[in-house]
Structure 1
């Protein structure tokens, strides 16, 4: 049986509330939107390059966001150390470029798990908490804002990729 990306329900957050609730709700919204853009596609569909000359794919976005989630939350905020998620010898863009449709189920599951672990890591941590990553100080607040921007940019990419792939458009 061929694997397909599962259906994803977009997380809707409160339109009023405090800063923490707003930041976490918007991040959850964009995370779930990326997963929604991938729903119903096989590994081959996720890996297909549809916007020439760009090599960008939905699978590359899934892999990239898993890496970004890990770097900012578990490596940055929690101060943990992990080996490179993707083959370092393939360069810093291996998340985008060194992909295989056969690994799509694992790559998708990795993103879902990194999201869960990121939320677990940040739970209860004050937004003003700071940490140093690669020699620069950051706050958890900045991480949320950065992640919202990162997902929003890539969800825009995902819109175009999906529409070119099979015509699916929508919110």
Structure 2
């Protein structure tokens, strides 16, 4: 089986090791987020709950950026690719949130799915290179470099926070609540 078609942990193991538990937790958050966003048109992806400006489309684009930032830029010190490398972040630091309204549902779903696929490949590479204790190649402003363990925990936290947002927004669109049933 190639790296691109490796099975993905859908749940953290009941009594697994630290790596599988962290990856399983992240994958459960990704799966729940995907289920919250699945099957919606532009109107559904653009729905918001006042006074917040957060939309499911904005969340898809934001989490695509987060995936690229954590697992490509921070972990491997790679430069951003399209569309991120063409953005004037100083002029609009929230560009991903604002620009999502102009993207089609297909573009948003593909952008997020592509970022997740690259993240999974980069995670496999980093695990092979140094495991959870391996340090990111891009350091923080104070010179410290986070471990892969820290990056995984940060991603689980980021997704968990946004899955909560997605839960409320999706319920307002069509009543979908809860979690995707485990596979």
Could you tell me whether the CA contact under 8 Å between 2:100 and 2:108 is conserved in 1?
no
Which stretch of structure 1 is more off in the superposition, 84-93 or 131-140? 84-93
Change (3 A) 1:120 1:40: same
Q: What is the Cα deviation at residue 152 of structure 1? A: 0.4
Structure having the larger proportion of residues in helix: 2
Runs of 4+ in structure 1 displaced over 6 angstroms? Answer: none
Structure 2 residue runs of 5 or longer lacking an equivalent are 1-8
- Give structure 1 stretches of 5+ with no counterpart: 1-9
Instruction: Output the CA distance in 2 between the equivalents of 1:134 and 1:106.
Output: 32
Structure 2 CA distance for partners of 1:31 and 1:129, relative to 1, 3 Å: same
Equivalences for residues 83-122 of structure 1 within 5 A: 85=84, 87-88=87-88, 91-100=92-101, 102-122=103-123
What SS does structure 1 have at the residue aligned with 2:146?
A: strand
Q: Aligned pairs, how many? A: 161
How far apart, in 2, do the equivalents of 1:165 and 1:15 lie?
34
* 1:145 corresponds to: 153
Q: Separation in 1 of the partners of 2:12 and 2:35?
A: 16
SS in structure 1 of the partner of residue 100 of structure 2: coil
SS where residue 145 of structure 2 aligns?
strand
How far apart in 1 are the matches of 2:97 and 2:51?
A: 14
Structure 1 window deviating more from structure 2 (76-85 vs 103-112): it is 76-85
Alpha-carbon contact 2:12-2:22 (below 8 Å) kept: no
Q: Distance in 2 between matches of 1:78 and 1:37?
A: 30
Q: Would you tell me which structure has more strand in proportion to its own residues?
A: 1
| SS of the residue 1:65 aligns to | helix
Establish whether residue 20 from structure 1 lines up as the match of residue 28 from structure 2.
no
**How many Å separate the matches in 2 of 1:64 and 1:133?**
22
TM-score by length of 1: 0.86
The 2-side partners of 1:57 and 1:133 are apart by: 31
**What is the Cα deviation at residue 43 of structure 1?**
2.2
- C-alpha RMSD over aligned residues: 1.9
**TM-score computed with the length of structure 2 as normaliser:** 0.81
Corresponding residue for residue 3 of structure 2: none
Displacement of 1:163 in angstroms is 0.8
CA displacement at 1:101 relative to structure 2: 5.5
Structure 2 Cα separation of the partners of residues 116 and 68 of structure 1: 13
